[in-house]
């Protein structure tokens, strides 16, 4: 009987110690916050925003030109011959296709730059997380979006942002 009690106590203590150690070895990080509040993330987001605004300004002139031409065609619809009307409509349709192609190209370029920039940041982040995990005996880092509930003490986002801010300030996305 005494042996069974000792084995039970041993497993009870071992299990609670294991659970306590495991609890301290799993942490989470808020990647969205990291990308929005770190120096490199802010710099990256500003570059993407500037590129997007620049693209919008470039196509705004073409958009205005299309609107003006459309209004011009509509106002002269009764005056123009059928052939002239078809030619003008055809020219307008070509401008609209060009406009749509430019819009798509601009969006594709921005999306590619977002992906490339995010990958650069993540590649710089991996060794930081690895070193931090070794230093703090962490066995697993989860993304906050995948955590249903967790103690605030397990959130390492602020610590990682500080380290990332010391290591990298900006990236080139050109």
CATH number, domain with residue 150: 3.30.910.20
Rounded CA gap, 122 and 160, in Å? Answer: 12
Range of the structural domain that residue 87 is part of = 25-167
Total count of domains within the chain:
1
Calpha distance 159→37 (Å, rounded): 12
Q: Is residue 134 included in any domain, yes or no? A: yes
Evaluate whether residue 83 is within a structural domain. yes
Measured CA angle at 109 (ends 106, 113), to 5 deg: 140
- Contact present, 141 and 29 (Cβ < 8 Å): yes
What confidence tens digit (pLDDT) does each residue in 86-135 have? 888 889 899 999 999 999 999 999 999 999 999 999 999 999 999 999 99
pLDDT in tens, 134-171: 999 988 888 888 888 888 888 899 999 999 999 988 88
């Amino acid at each position: 009987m005494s042996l069974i009690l000792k084995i039970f106590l041993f497993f009870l203590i071992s299990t609670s110690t294991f659970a306590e150690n495991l609890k301290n070895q799993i942490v989470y990080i808020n990647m969205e916050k990291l990308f929005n509040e770190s120096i490199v993330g802010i710099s990256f987001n500003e570059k993407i925003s500037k590129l997007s605004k620049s693209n919008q300004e470039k196509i705004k002139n073409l958009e205005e030109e299309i609107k003006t031409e459309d209004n011009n065609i509509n106002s002269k619809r009764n005056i123009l011959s059928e052939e002239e009307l078809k030619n003008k409509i055809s020219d307008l349709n070509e401008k609209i296709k060009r406009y749509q192609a430019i819009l798509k190209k601009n969006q594709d370029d921005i999306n590619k730059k977002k992906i490339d920039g995010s990958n650069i940041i993540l590649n710089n982040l991996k060794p930081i997380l690895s070193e931090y995990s070794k230093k703090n005996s962490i066995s697993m880092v989860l993304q906050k979006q995948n955590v249903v509930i967790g103690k605030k003490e397990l959130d390492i986002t602020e610590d990682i942002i500080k380290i990332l801010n010391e290591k990298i300030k900006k990236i080139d996305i050109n």
